[in-house]
Amino acid sequence: MNVLLIEDDRRIAQLVERGLREDGHRVSVTHDGADGARRMLSGEFDAALLDILLPGMSGLEVLERVRAQHCKTPILMLTAVDAVPKVLEAFDLGADDYLVKPFLLEILLARVGAIARRVQPQAPQMLHAGGLTLDRQRRVVARDGRQIALTRKQVDLLEVLMRRSGLVTSREELIEAGWGSASAVKENTLDVYIHSLRTKLGDRSENRPLIRTIHGTGYTFVAD
């Protein structure tokens, strides 16, 4: 998700930002309440982590302002204020969750993950393109009525290609989908996996293969 962190304690902000980034989220940080409200109202963020004790405008005032302007961004209050009336006030104003400092980073990441599951639509389990049917859950592809069992990484790679049917998918995008980062794999690992995937799909015996190499760039899935 694209997360906005509104926290005036710079040490805590750095720790939380690093943890969120390592967990795969994009993060923007501001240390000022008014700026946080303005940025949240831009609509570009999937979630916000909001401290209560902020300079200029408190977190509760930020919460009240953005909810009054119909901002639906999920907001997790992240604060040292643990008094029950303040917690209840935050929920009354529209907070989605509340985490009291000090906290375990793992708990914070779990809360953010729960928000991500609520706000992001589930990807369909079945994909159809180019005569292929991909069952993401069972990791099985059917081509012309013939079922093909794939490994988890082969499914990940094929799913990206099928979703971008007709477009060029870069090597970097495919490596990110299969392994998480380019540094985790050797230079030719992607090519080996694509070669194996093509073999399983029967592409290597077809005059018009589904997966085609775009030299120097990546691969494309051709549905017709």
Please name each of the domains of the chain with its CATH number: 2-119 (3.40.50.2300), 126-221 (1.10.10.10)
Which 3 state secondary structure label does DSSP give 74?
coil
- The structure's pTM equals 0.55
Residue 68: per-residue pLDDT: 94
Alpha-carbon gap, residue 76 to 21, rounded angstroms: 17
Neighbours of 48 (CB within 10 A): 27
Residue 122: per-residue pLDDT: 53
- 10 Å CB burial of residue 94 (0-12, 13-18, 19+) is middle
CA distances from 52 to 74, 99, 123, 165 (A): 16, 11, 35, 46
Helix (H) and strand (E) counts in the chain: 8, 12
Residue 131: per-residue pLDDT: 83
Helices (H), 94-137: 105-119
Residue 172: per-residue pLDDT: 83
Query: What average pLDDT values come out for the chain (224 residues) when binned by 10 residues?
Result: 92 92 89 93 91 90 94 90 86 92 89 80 70 81 85 87 87 80 69 90 74 90 82
Q: Cα 35 to chain center, whole Å?
A: 24
- Beta strand pairing status for 75-79 and 97-100? parallel
CA atoms within 13 A on the CB side of 5: 24
Q: Which amino acid is at 143?
A: R
The β-bridge partners of 204 are: none
Residue 47: per-residue pLDDT: 92
Residue 186: per-residue pLDDT: 73
Q: Which amino acid is at 178?
A: G
Non-local CB neighbours of 208 within 8 Å, separated by 6+ positions: 222
